[in-house]
Amino acid sequence: MAVHELSASGAPNLVIEIAGIRMKNPLTVGSGTFGHHGNFGQFFAVEEMGALVTKTVRGYAWPGNPGPRVLEVPSGLHSSVGIPCSEWHEFLARDIPPLRAMRLPVIQSVIGRTEDEYVEIAERCAALGIFAAIELNLSCPNLKQGGLDFGYDPIAAGKVVRRVRDRIDMPVFAKLAPDYSSLISVAKSVEAAGADAISMVNAPRAMLIDYRTRKPRIGNKSGSRSGPAIKSMAVYMIWEVFRAVKIPIFGMGGVSDFRDVIEFMAAGARSVAFGTINYANPKALPTALAELTQFLKDEGITDVNDLVGAAHEQDGIAAMLPDEVA
């Protein structure tokens, strides 16, 4: 583990590296929760964060799920958006110019209904030459085809990662579902297939029923739960996956402040994404960044990387980063 001296200003090192991508700090955003179509930066300068993860794209026009699509519920959101998408040429004309102008690593999330579609959209995005990585959304909980067809099945997940890996010359992240029964086998399978990082977790499937009508409250009937209510579940799953694989983890699921960032990193995440909280407090990320920096200073922690896996220390034996495990 690198040892960093506090700089003259006393500022701790916040730089992290994931799959060769240098992020100036570990904070990022969850796909689909931070503006679309270049509509970023109304609340803070996007370049303040370590990386930007874009809304998932399909590469063809898709209406998404019927409304209502998003409901505010205690401690988060209940949603079923269904990855609406515009035609590829519209995406190129509207979304790409602002992304091209970004001065930070941009990770493009993609999805397909079939293995071939994943490969095709990943190749098209990679060919644009502006992205730092491609994130395969193997875990959207709200689709009839794609997403969880792959994310619950270690063989299907591994196959799609392998095919994309073989076709594009840039880091590939696999975004996994919070499914206790398949998580570890899927994580190991995508690692073996060449994934450079695991993003986790997507929102778990959920349902809300209106007690008056006795009907589901959301257009797609089932939806997904996100926000602070799922935090402890996400932390547990990151803890387990950290012990199972060596590739780095992009952590998310209910993060709202700097304390959560530390908790996720201690469980094993190398970077931490703000998701649903962006809807309630659009300045949560820059606030957390300032508070994290102050906390590290106050605690005399010179390098944010030292937090990664810290919760795994037992009996005085320092935790090793997965890379360092023989």
Ligand X SMILES: Cc1cc2nc3c(=O)[nH]c(=O)nc-3n(C[C@H](O)[C@H](O)[C@H](O)COP(=O)(O)O)c2cc1C
142 binds ligand X (CB under 6 A): no
Other Cβ atoms closer than 10 A to 246: 11
160 binds ligand X (CB under 6 A): no
Q: Which stretch binds ligand X (CB under 6 A): 118-126, 183-191, 235-243, 253-261?
A: 253-261
305 binds ligand X (CB under 6 A): no
Applying the rule CB under 6 A, the residues between 284 and 303 that interact with ligand X are: none
Q: Are 135 and 53 in contact (CB under 8 A)?
A: yes
151 binds ligand X (CB under 6 A): no
Q: How far is the CB of 22 from ligand X (least distance, A)?
A: 22
Three-state secondary structure call for residue 266: helix
Q: Residue 218 burial by CB count (10 A; 0-12/13-18/19+): exposed, middle or buried? A: buried
252 binds ligand X (CB under 6 A): yes
Q: How far is the CB of 275 from ligand X (least distance, A)?
A: 2
List phi, psi (to 5°) of 75.
60, 40
Handedness of CA 262, 282, 236, 268 (dihedral sign): negative
Distance CA 60, CA 164 (A): 19
The residue type found at 85 is C
Q: Which stretch binds ligand X (CB under 6 A): 97-105, 121-129, 149-157, 250-258?
A: 250-258
Query: Contacting ligand X (CB under 6 A), which of 164, 175, 271, 285?
Result: 175
Q: How far is the CB of 66 from ligand X (least distance, A)?
A: 15
Number of residues lying near ligand X (CB under 6 A): 26
Query: Contacting ligand X (CB under 6 A), which of 275, 289, 306, 308?
Result: 275
Q: End-to-end CA distance of the chain, in Å?
A: 14
The yes-or-no answer on residue 125 being catalytic is: no
- Residue closer to ligand X by CB (options 13, 25) is 25
27-29 and 271-274 beta bridge pairing: parallel
Length, in residues, of the chain: 326
Distance CA 117, CA 255 (A): 31
Q: Which residues bind ligand X (CB under 6 A)?
A: 30-33, 55-56, 70, 77, 79, 81, 83, 109, 137, 140, 175, 202-203, 226-227, 230, 252-255, 275-276
